[in-house]
Structure 1
Amino acid sequence: MCGRLNIINTSLCKIVSDTIGLNFHSESNDNLSPSELLSTIVQSNEHVSQVNMQWGIQPSWSKRLLINAQSETVAIKPTFAKAFVAHRCLIPISGWYEWRKEGSKKQKYYFSHSQNLPLYMAGVSYHKFNTPPQVVTLTTKPNQLCEQYHHRMPVFILPDSINAWLAPQNSQANLSRLMSAIPDEYISVTTS
């Protein structure tokens, strides 16, 4: 699910900067893959900042890179629970890709904001001594539009809920309501 991202282009960085209240900058990449760097937004105390993080973690028990965590279990699974409580973040993106089998071929689809605005993907970050920070994105059950293409979709935080998502002291109950699928009307789907 969602193993390729279209990272925010220069024209959308100003919208992110104005929305978040910081000077956000991201290198454009229309096919960002796991293990590459993502520009993320984090909050510590009252201060919001940008941190570049590697997409994915590889716990000692896993043979593969973990890039996503399910929103339904992120607060209780040992791999993600501490990061969920203490290190929630946002990844501004222009869109993401999914593939759907159609006949004998796979068709690539591009998902973006219906009004050409940034999407704020929810994530949790990991900070270890002497290693670059890492991030895992969150997924949820899809809305009606997206479920035609995949059984999961990214968790997106709407602009009016950004402060609630990033606030370190926010309770799990308050956060749970933010982790469901955004309505269909926010999403546009095109073939890629």
Structure 2
Amino acid sequence: MCGRFALYSPYPKLSQALRLPLEPGELRPRYNVAPGTWITAVGHPSDDAPLVMGEVWWGYRPHWTNDKAPEPINATVEKVATSNYFRGAFAHHRCLVPADGWYEWLPVDGKKQPHFLCREDREPIWLAGIWSERPDGKPGCAILTEPARGVAAEIHSRMPLALDDESLEPWLDPHLTDRETIRQVVHHLPAELIIHWPVSTRVNRSANDDASLIQFC
């Protein structure tokens, strides 16, 4: 799954990695991004609107539901294209969530040891997401997850769907709506690029947010 991540790369680096026209901006480094907060995402507000980087609420609840409807933070790749709850957003409202890495917890001797997972080259990771206007009129998103691959499987059975560089543009294309076509042109990041190491249990408390959280311990 994906329930906590870090984003500290500066805006120019993210813009360059996307190879897409984005206006200059500033991002506050965050080392402990938790669900139920505003997070950075990239997408098209509508089919004909230009690509923008902005904030969305990490919690998906479509506008056609009510305040008592589920608010998942993740959507599985196995069901996102067919579930009544997600399929409209998968077809028309896909987005990318930039991250420098994510956290996962490994059970060890009856306790859970957090690990930080990132690219070996420390480049930003682009997580596939979907978004929808929420009942309150604001955008909310869920990050897609897939079965864990490579060393990520040592920590947890699932991982966020990280995309390779060539998949970023088609994933964001609002005119690309067919499920099978999307599956053919969008590919996940090669598993061999991912590494991990144990970090402090301070990350368990979302109020802790500093660079020491990602240091080896």
TM-score after normalising by structure 1: 0.89
SS at match of 1:174: helix
Q: Which of residues 56, 59, 64 is equivalent to 2:59?
A: 56
Size of the aligned set, in residue pairs, is 190
**Could you tell me how far 1:25 is from its partner in structure 2?**
3.8
Task: Return 5+ residue gaps in structure 1 as ranges.
Answer: none
Cross-structure match for 2:194: 187
SS at match of 2:150: coil
Q: Which of residues 110, 123, 126 is equivalent to 1:120?
A: 126
When residues 73 and 62 of structure 1 are mapped into structure 2, their CA distance, relative to the original with a 3 A threshold, is farther
In terms of fraction of residues, the more strand-rich structure is: 1
Cross-structure match for 1:15: 13
Over the matched positions of the two proteins, sequence identity in percent amounts to: 26
Conservation of the 8 A alpha-carbon contact between 1:35 and 1:56: yes
**Could you tell me how far 1:64 is from its partner in structure 2?**
5.5
Once residues 133 and 75 of structure 2 are traced to their aligned partners in structure 1, the CA distance between those partners, rounded to angstroms, is 17
Which is worse superposed, 25-34 or 61-70?
61-70
Q: Structure 1: which amino acid aligns with 2:4?
A: R
Conservation of the 8 A alpha-carbon contact between 1:156 and 1:179: no
Cross-structure match for 1:149: 155
When residues 8 and 177 of structure 1 are mapped into structure 2, their CA distance, relative to the original with a 3 A threshold, is farther
**Could you tell me how far 1:123 is from its partner in structure 2?**
0.3
Write the mapping of 1:65-80 to structure 2, written as runs, cut at 5 A.
65-80=71-86
When residues 4 and 91 of structure 1 are mapped into structure 2, their CA distance, relative to the original with a 3 A threshold, is same
When residues 183 and 145 of structure 1 are mapped into structure 2, their CA distance, relative to the original with a 3 A threshold, is same
Once residues 87 and 25 of structure 2 are traced to their aligned partners in structure 1, the CA distance between those partners, rounded to angstroms, is 28
Q: Structure 2: which amino acid aligns with 1:188?
A: I
Measured against aligned partners, the alpha-carbon deviations of 1:56-102 in whole angstroms (never above 9, x if no partner) come to 13565967531000011101101101011110000111110000101
Is residue 161 of structure 2 the alignment partner of residue 161 of structure 1?
no
Task: Return 5+ residue gaps in structure 2 as ranges.
Answer: 200-217
SS at match of 1:121: strand
**Could you tell me how far 1:129 is from its partner in structure 2?**
6.3
Conservation of the 8 A alpha-carbon contact between 1:143 and 1:181: no
**Could you tell me how far 1:40 is from its partner in structure 2?**
0.6
Once residues 61 and 185 of structure 1 are traced to their aligned partners in structure 2, the CA distance between those partners, rounded to angstroms, is 41
Which is worse superposed, 39-48 or 75-84?
39-48
Conservation of the 8 A alpha-carbon contact between 2:99 and 2:124: yes
SS at match of 1:75: coil
Which is worse superposed, 59-68 or 168-177?
59-68
TM-score after normalising by structure 2: 0.79
